[in-house]
Amino acid sequence: MSYSVHRGRHLLNTPGPTNVPERVLQAMVRNPMDLSDPVPLAVIESCFQDIKKIFKTEHEIFMYASNGHGAWEAALVNTMSPGDLLLVPELGNFSTGWGEMAEALQMRTETIKGDWRQAIDPEKIRERLAADTSHEIKGLLIVQTDTATSVTCDIPAIRKAIDEAGHPALLLVDTIPTLAVTDFRMDEWGVDVAVTASQKGLMMPPGLGFVAASPKALEAHKKATSQRRYWDWSLRLASESYRTFCGTSPQSQLYGLRAALDMLLEEGLENVFARHKRLATATHRCVEHWGKAGAMELNAIHAAQRADGVTTILLNEGIDGAKIRDVCRDEMQCALGGGLRNLSGRAFRIGHMGDMNEALLYGALASVEATLSYLDVPYEPGGVTKAIDYLVAERKKNRDG
């Protein structure tokens, strides 16, 4: 018997890229139009206005034909100068990576070390900023959730720490795995720069990067001396679409974005957040049950710090997380995320963000459980049932009022 030919749908449960809804795909399948045609211009303008609703901001939005790393760089070079010092609370691979990018751009970084299993205490941030009486620190690089560790942090608490220290540093926040997944309120929370990308909660293919900038960030931009051209906010603040995108606009991506924004706004952001919270809680209950056999556990120690869009499962020594990921993808037809950097080979990740529902989650969790059985990894059977029981109970609550 041969298993070499696969039928049916391959499940995508990586924490980015994520499933792209058919409605978004269909919106993207159209010929490009003249750059001055009113049809694409109207779509572009509406996207700039409605993405503000997702960031919950009235501030300036910049869009780039890039991935999230491009948005990282745009945020840095537009607000910082070579030699500027940035404070980086360590949450995992991506907080570290953003800091490394800053160093590559000739900026300096100082890391508040973390253990990759819990968020940095905001009091440590307050203490460090209070000690910086000369205001040498120009900004903080914060990831709302680190996709590698699935640890999330409290942005309002960090803002409070900055304010209590009386420090003028900019608050730069990576919302790449959290925007349209977990609540984010740029203006209310006093965030100066927020970055995101298209391939996660926004339910699109990779290829669009976004930066939202407060008036304080725009003032910092006027003084920043980092070399930039494509990323330059000054050039992109022009009203002409050609200058807004520093050249030809990515029309197909923008048509897809328009459809994705429509879907999110039709569902309602609070419902979007609640849906992700339910799916995350179901996943956590499943993994906690598997872990009763002693071979695995949730990487994020504290329940309140567990991400709503991705779950990182930490494995005992001797269990190969990369093997679990590969077998689940190749044999069970379900793609997972692997462990990154410090967690390479020691963990795997289940994504449950974007265009995701109960049925897709059941399929993913069952595929993982089948993989554990196939590889003889110790686990307590019945984890999927725990997820089902929770989600069915939630639906009954909703039905019965």
What CATH number corresponds to the domain at position 53?
3.40.640.10
Determine contact, residues 47/244, Cβ cutoff 8 Å: no
Assess whether 277 and 220 both reside in one domain: no
Q: Are strands 85-89 and 108-112 parallel, antiparallel or unpaired?
A: parallel
Contacts 24+ apart (CB under 8 A), 293-296: 293/378, 293/379, 293/380, 294/378, 295/319, 295/377, 295/378, 295/379, 296/377, 296/379
Q: What is the pTM of this model?
A: 0.97
pLDDT level of residue 258 (50, 70, 90 thresholds): very high
Concatenated DSSP letters of 119-168:
PPPHHHHHHHHHH-TT--EEEEEEESEETTTTEE--HHHHHHHHHHHT--
Residue 3: its pLDDT value, please? 77
Q: How far, in Å, are 90, 226, 243, 251 from residue 110 at the CA level?
A: 10, 19, 35, 40
Determine contact, residues 98/72, Cβ cutoff 8 Å: yes
Q: Is residue 10 part of a domain?
A: no
Residue 175: its pLDDT value, please? 99
- Could you tell me the residue range of the domain that residue 148 belongs to? 22-266
Coil, strand or helix at 365? helix
Listed range (17-31, 241-255, 338-352, 370-384) with the worst mean pLDDT: 241-255
Q: Span 179-202, mean pLDDT? A: 99
Residue 48: its pLDDT value, please? 97
Phi, psi (5° rounding) for residue 399?
-65, -40
Q: Is residue 302 part of a domain?
A: yes
> Rg of the chain over CA atoms, in angstroms?
22
pLDDT digits (tens, 9 = 90+) for 78-105: 999 999 999 999 999 999 999 999 999 9
Residue 84: its pLDDT value, please? 99
pLDDT digits (tens, 9 = 90+) for 375-386: 999 999 999 999
Residue 243: its pLDDT value, please? 86
For the cut 90, the answer to whether the pLDDT of residue 8 exceeds it is no
Assess whether 247 and 158 both reside in one domain: yes
For the cut 90, the answer to whether the pLDDT of residue 391 exceeds it is yes
CATH classification of the domain holding 387: 3.90.1150.10
As a whole-number percent, the residues of the chain with pLDDT over 70 amount to 100
Q: Is residue 7 part of a domain?
A: no
Task: Tell whether 349 is in a known binding site.
Answer: yes
Q: Is residue 1 part of a domain?
A: no
Give dist(CA 229, CA 199) in Å, integer.
Answer: 25
Residue 238: its pLDDT value, please? 78
The 3-state secondary structure of 311-326, one letter per residue: EEEEECCCCCHHHHHH
Query: What angle separates helix 358-374 from helix 383-400, to the nearest 10 degrees?
Result: 170
Q: Span 253-279, mean pLDDT? A: 99
pLDDT level of residue 287 (50, 70, 90 thresholds): very high
**What would the two tokens of residue 307 be?**
């991400």
Residue 54: its pLDDT value, please? 99
Assess whether 234 and 261 both reside in one domain: yes
Give dist(CA 31, CA 94) in Å, integer.
Answer: 36
Domain boundary among 215, 250, 266: 266
Assess whether 52 and 135 both reside in one domain: yes
Residue 4: its pLDDT value, please? 73
Q: Is residue 385 part of a domain?
A: yes
pLDDT digits (tens, 9 = 90+) for 192-211: 999 999 999 999 999 999 99
Assess whether 164 and 307 both reside in one domain: no
Assess whether 213 and 304 both reside in one domain: no
Assess whether 246 and 348 both reside in one domain: no
Q: Structural domain tally of the chain?
A: 2
Residue 2: its pLDDT value, please? 67
Q: Is residue 275 part of a domain?
A: yes
Assess whether 191 and 281 both reside in one domain: no
Assess whether 243 and 113 both reside in one domain: yes
pLDDT level of residue 131 (50, 70, 90 thresholds): very high
Residue 207: its pLDDT value, please? 98
pLDDT digits (tens, 9 = 90+) for 299-341: 999 999 999 999 999 999 999 999 999 999 999 999 999 999 9
Give dist(CA 401, CA 384) in Å, integer.
Answer: 26
Give dist(CA 296, CA 319) in Å, integer.
Answer: 9
Domain boundary among 234, 266, 298: 266
Assess whether 126 and 256 both reside in one domain: yes
State the average pLDDT for the chain: 97
Assess whether 283 and 304 both reside in one domain: yes
Domain boundary among 209, 233, 266: 266
Q: How far, in Å, are 97, 293, 380 from residue 327 at the CA level?
A: 28, 21, 19
pLDDT digits (tens, 9 = 90+) for 198-251: 999 999 999 999 999 999 999 999 999 999 999 999 999 977 777 899 999 999
Give dist(CA 260, CA 140) in Å, integer.
Answer: 30
Q: Span 161-184, mean pLDDT? A: 99
Assess whether 262 and 278 both reside in one domain: no
Q: Span 344-369, mean pLDDT? A: 98
Q: Is residue 5 part of a domain?
A: no
Residue 392: its pLDDT value, please? 98
At residue 18, what is the residue type?
T
